[in-house]
Amino acid sequence: MTVPKETAEKCLQMLLPWRGGWTLRNEDPRQEEERHVKANDRDYNGRFPYADNRIKTSKYHIVTFLPINLFEQFQRVANAYFLFLLILQLIPQISSLSWFTTIVPLVLVLTITAVKDAMDDFFRHKSDNHVNNRQSQVLIDGKLHTEKWMNVRVGDIIKLENNQFVAADLLLLSSSEPYGLCYIETAELDGETNLKVRQALTVTSELGGDISKMAAFDGEVVCEPPNNRLDRFTGTLLWKDEKHSLANDKMLLRGCVLRNTEWCFGMVIFAGPQTKLMQNSGKTTFKRTSIDKLMNTLVLWIFGFLTCMGIILAIGNSIWEYRVGHDFRIYLAWNEVLDHAVFSGFLTFWSYVIILNTVVPISLYVSVEVIRLGHSYFINWDRRMYCSQRDTPAEARTTTLNEELGQIEYIFSDKTGTLTQNIMAFNKCSINGKIYGDIYDEHGCKIEVTERTPSVDFSFNHLSDKKFKFYDHSLVEAVKLGDSSVHEFFRLLSLCHTIMAEEKNEVRNPKGQIKLYSKGADTILFDMLHPSDEDLMYTTSDHLSEFAGEGLRTLALAYKDLEEEYFEEWFKRHHFASTTLDNREDSLAALYEEIEQDMKLLGATAIEDKLQEGVAETIACLTLANIKVWVLTGDKQETAMNIGYSCNMLRDDMNEVFTISGNTVLEVQQQLRNAKERVLGSYRDVGNGHTNSKKLEMSKNDSVVEETFTGEYALIINGHSLAHALEADLEQVFLDIACMCKTVICCRVTPLQKAQVVELVKKCKNAVTLAIGDGANDVSMIKTAHIGVGISGQEGMQAVLSSDFSFAQFRFLQRLLLVHGRWSYFRMCNFLCYFFYKNFAFTLVHFWFGFFCGFSAQTVYDQWFITLFNIVYTSLPVLAMGLFDQDVNEQSSLEHPRLYEPGQLNVLFNKHKFFICTAQGVYTSIVLFFIPYGVFLDTVRDDGSHIADHQSFAVTIATSLVIVVSVQIGLDTSYWTAVNHFYIWGSVAIYFSILFAMYSNGIFDLFPNQFPFIGTARNALSQKSVWLVILLTTVVCVMPVVALRFLRVDLYPRLTEKVRYMQQASKKQRPLEHKLKRVRRTSSRRSAYAFAHQEGYGELITSGKNMKVTNPFSSLPAVRIQGSTSWIENLLKKRADAPNSASTDRAPKQQHQQ
């Protein structure tokens, strides 16, 4: 029976009269629609399922660790496969190998992985406990009690003191500052280190610091449910029969830090996982590399191949038993005679499944984990990724993703603190039409500022920053002389609190006037000016162009004198609009637009947030490696574009820069389609309109077009437009045009939108992605990307704690990818190719032997050889190759970024490579079995006796196998070290030592049942014919490989071979490291910069012609590097030689081209 919704709603209201804003919904009958919170009333608030303030980022608990971790590990197909084999080996009727050959390595793999996972989760628990156990002062029963953060509840009133972190999302009630003001640093949320102002309601600010008044406060807040919007909050405070509007400027969000405010009180609205910070943190997911995923597929294929071999041998056994098997029972008596040939074949099938399981040995996964661990330590030990200024080394925080670093196609980067230093410096300004900040000589010529230039002495001001350097004395003189415009200029900056002063005195207008101060983008502010300021506007505009051309961030400043009567009337309308719940934002925007008219221009500021050292060079090098860099930032569009120009991601010579700024779905859709049509149109018009049918056909496939463009385009999109572009109907159009552009900048985006952009590229492009950031607002995209990199900068450690890799500066990303990532991918692929080859060669000998032993599941090798082959005889050489091998050295890897492309194309290990490796293994197994078998048919010993006994045959094949695979790994090794030599030849020596020991008299005396064949090795290997067989087998196995590789390198050399040849040719010369010269931006374009989170407008329309593409590597005529762009050419044009020192971490200093 179905209950009507209205009836259910009434019943719910009767049962839950306190439910407030909770409504019945079909999807979730307890989903929160709006939140009701009463101050100082835990009983009331406890009726709702509001989250407490405890956070949890860990995955396991001490009780749940073992079952959950084992469940996760057995999701790996190989682990489940080996567990299945172990069960089979415990059945005596079908087991031809001892159970310990599988259980020991399986337990070892599970234990190593479990310990690693436990350590990772331990650090998460440690981080969670550190946060949850922070202390906070909570008002309980009329008194302040010190409570842990995790014990804070919704509705509690908390007292914060200066420099304390905000424990939860709070409604500001009062503060130590006048009018309920307080100042917060929001770096953990939006990446901005400048202080922001928050102000309590007048009615609550009157509560002050009186504990009794706070304890009596019983206001109720009705607000929006938990969400991830950092810049918006909508709610109403109901207190003393009055309604008061609540907006984001009344909230203190978790993660902020109280600054320059002695104390403040706040009421908890959202706690723990429901805070906006945690809502933007994203979900911790289990990351696996593409090679891991491919390995799962290959294991299934191999198991299918093994099943087919087992079926063939089982059918052979049934036929053999049916026809001739009974004739052999006189020699090999059965304990229980099986007269049914089909059942005998069935048992034989499972026996061969056990014997042939070594095509995928468990030692493969042990070796993979060891290699990854080694690669992680190489990153941690890299002194060239160590930042001495911050005493911060690079750190691999996970050991499972190293080879993925060599396959990155898209990088998603934050801006502030990631590309920039996040240290703002006042550089220049324009006041009343005059520039301050430049210095001139006695002839009136501008002088370039150097380290020797004397700076202004600010010792007269005890509040001045000792580190601040300013070189124009005229500005200080104007302040001292009482210039009214200069004083008004700095008064505006002080009151807007973009520049915070520690002075506690009130700032008042000397004449008692009411003034409106405004700062922002010149494109917006100039439209608000009084017509009488037109001349000053043009002069200031020229100054702004000059500032922007120097890469400085600009702000325009204006003011207006307000009549008291007008202001009081306007303020009443403002109060009414701010308390309404319908169209509040639109009404307030109209009022702000009304009052911000006919303003007087004061001037403009020029702020410098320098790029980090080596950013432009790093982006240039990554672009040459065919890696696309997208910037996702919470800053204004103008600010983001300024940085784009500074690091040469945006340039005047680009074909076009598309700006997507629509406010509706239709506007965004039209702008995206127009941009796409312009790009495709220019592509079709290549060659003066002569486009053949093949090109037209290619243009229908955007993925093909994306790789064949000769033009350069950029896409700029803001957060509001991006919200529409990420909807299901438009996301593919947005992705198409974004991937056709050389540069993509998404500005004013929320942390969740960052993650959505990353997820879109992951899902639709099937590309390996990397996200890099330094703040808590980057955590979501760091967790979403295949690889997350955290920069330990000015914005705390949230990004680092959530990352897979971390370091101190963006420039280290180049070395992480092009050296460590590329080497890790190269080594892992070579390791896997060799491992599959040697194990197919080792295992398939049993398959061929089955046709000559009556399909009886008899093994060729001795059981101890089967056990030790992968664990002892061949484990160390392949580990050495996987840890130390290099195709080219690190210098060549950095000088030739195109060497990175094989990883992006996944050409070193894929399904095709796997088939080649297995084919080589099958060929080797055939040679290993049939050459000794054919020779032994008619060969006799030196004394004339027969040599073809089973044990001598097994020793001959085993010895040939060890030598062949050792020679093969020698051919596969590109970079020889003492470790490689020791492991390869040492493993061969160990084999012979163990071989003679196992067949010696001494071991027989100790363990007669386990080692019954005395002297077999000595007797077999003392015969010349056996050594000739081993030599012949080795040559036949290896020579085809040598010949094919020689022909390929000689006829079709790859870039790697060419670079290696040049590397060897210049071995006697001291290697030189080239450093890139930064090209200073000379663009005449400008854009404004604002610190506050306010929406900026204005479109940048650019056009230009392509510059002719030349080869940046002119010194390498034999190596043609395609796809380089003109701006990179300019950036790499002039290189200076520097010693290749491994003991320094200092990157080349940026040189500005004047």
β pairing state of 181-185 and 1072-1075? unpaired
**Catalytic pick from 414, 702, 887, 972?**
414
Q: How far apart are CA 35 and CA 45, in angstroms?
A: 10
**Looking at the chain, how many residues does it have?**
1154
Residue type, 802: S
Q: How far apart are CA 71 and CA 286, in angstroms?
A: 13
Residue 35: CB partners within 8 Å, gap ≥ 6?
20, 21, 50, 221, 222, 223, 224, 225, 226, 269, 270
Q: How far apart are CA 591 and CA 570, in angstroms?
A: 8
1079's tokens = 């090209």
The CB-side HSE value for 839 (13 A sphere, CA atoms) comes to 25
Per 3-state DSSP, the chain is made up of helix, strand and coil in percentages (nearest 5) of 50, 15, 35
Kindly write down the DSSP assignment for every residue of 417-434, as one continuous string.
Answer: TTTEEEEEEEEEEEETTE
Q: Are 779 and 281 a contacting pair, CB within 8 Å?
A: yes
Q: How far apart are CA 329 and CA 942, in angstroms?
A: 34
- Which residue matches tokens 């922001």? 196
**Residue 569: how many CB atoms within 10 A of its CB?**
11
The CB-side HSE value for 919 (13 A sphere, CA atoms) comes to 8
Q: Are 621 and 1133 a contacting pair, CB within 8 Å?
A: no
What are the b/e assignments for 595-626, b being 16+ CB within 10 Å? bbeebebbbbbbbbbbbbbbbbbbbbbbbbbb
Known catalytic residue at 41: no
Of 626, 412, 498, give the one whose Cα is nearest residue 197. Answer: 498
Q: How far apart are CA 90 and CA 737, in angstroms?
A: 59
Q: How far apart are CA 478 and CA 484, in angstroms?
A: 9
Q: How far apart are CA 388 and CA 271, in angstroms?
A: 39
Q: Are 280 and 779 a contacting pair, CB within 8 Å?
A: yes
Residue type, 49: P
Of 889, 899, 973, 900, give the one whose Cα is nearest residue 1142. Answer: 889
287's tokens = 């990351």
End-to-end CA distance of the chain: 82
For CA atoms 1027, 1033, 1035, 1041, give the dihedral sign: negative
Local structure of 39: helix, strand or coil: coil
Q: How far apart are CA 143 and CA 273, in angstroms?
A: 27
* DSSP 8-state symbol, 406: G
Residue type, 1088: A
84's tokens = 């299945």
Q: How far apart are CA 622 and CA 1100, in angstroms?
A: 26
Angle between helices 822-850 and 363-381 (to 10 degrees): 170
Residue type, 217: F
Of 919, 909, 911, give the one whose Cα is nearest residue 840. Answer: 919
Q: How far apart are CA 335 and CA 318, in angstroms?
A: 19
Partnered with residue 413 across adjacent β-strands are 631, 772
Which run of H or of E encompasses 160?
strand 157-161
Partnered with residue 148 across adjacent β-strands are 135
Catalytic residues: 414
